[in-house]
Amino acid sequence: MAQKVLIVYAHQSAGSFNAAAKDAAVEVLTAQGCQVEVSDLYAMKFKPSATADDITGQVKDAEHFCYGEETMLAWKEGRLSADITEEQRKLSDADVVIFQFPMYWFTVPAIMKGWIDRVLTKGFAYTSEERYSQGILKEKKAMLSFTTGSLESMFSVNGINGDINVTLWPLQNGILHYCGFKVLAPQIFWAPRVSSEVRCSMLEAWRTRLQGLLGEMPLSFTPSDSFDSERGFQLKKSIEEKQKSEHHGLTVGTHLGMSIPPNSQIKAGV
């Protein structure tokens, strides 16, 4: 059966490098027999703010409005706004999701963050019991593909921007892995405002990677059952004891005061 790919794309210009990266993905994946769908957020004029307008009909508690609880109820009852429902339909159909964007302020653009806030509703994408390695979307893969304004050296362990692995942890663990996605290594286009030859080389490397993308191994995250719910979801003592003999911590976030494992957010199998 053909794989279905959803590209969530956020750039204002059709002449941008991000547009070229998105077009390359559509072309290469389609040639492999994939069914590719693109959500062009700026072209769609996608509403980025999460408000009560995302719910049709009455809310349960207007005075103490809680977006997560109200949208979960609305999702169960089929009362989410049409734009959210359509994006959830696309996501439900997809086997792989690629987020294509320029990095703004060390994260995704506001319009893409709005897609995340509004589409990944509680109940549909996660619950308190179904998250991380037990997440609702655990049968799907997702990845970040983005451009930076800074050179790769600036995102190094001794660079002015800090370690790119730390930068990516909230996005890849706190959003994608939290919802259960198997997270593929990111595609990073470092400061592509360079010569046309270098830009072409970057795109060619992306095209080459796309040829085998669907078979790639995902990044590694600590399984949910490694944490003790009765202790506030702290790492289990038995695992913590075993880790004491290691030089590096488990992950960027759960590092146990030890050295952060190098490149664990940008390369699989490390």
| Residue appearing with tokens 């942890």 | 169
The C-alpha atoms of residue 243 and residue 96 are separated, in whole angstroms, by: 33
- Dihedral sign for Cα atoms in the order 71, 40, 200, 106: negative
The C-alpha atoms of residue 206 and residue 261 are separated, in whole angstroms, by: 26
pLDDT reading at 19 higher than 90: yes
Determine the CATH number of domain 4-218: 3.40.50.360
CATH 3.40.50.360 maps onto the chain at: 4-218
71 close to 79: Cβ distance less than 8 angstroms: no
Beta strands in the chain (DSSP E): 4-9, 35-40, 96-102, 141-147, 182-183, 187-189, 227-228, 234-235
Quick: pLDDT tens for 21-75.
Answer: 999 999 999 999 999 999 999 999 999 999 999 999 999 998 999 999 999 999 9
Q: Coil, helix or strand for 174?
A: helix
Quick: pLDDT tens for 103-133.
Answer: 999 999 999 999 999 999 999 999 999 999 9
- What are 145's strand-pairing partners? 100, 187
What length does the chain have? 270
Name the phi and psi angles at 24, rounded to 5.
-65, -40
- The answer to whether the pTM exceeds 0.85 is yes
pLDDT band for position 7 (50/70/90)? Answer: very high
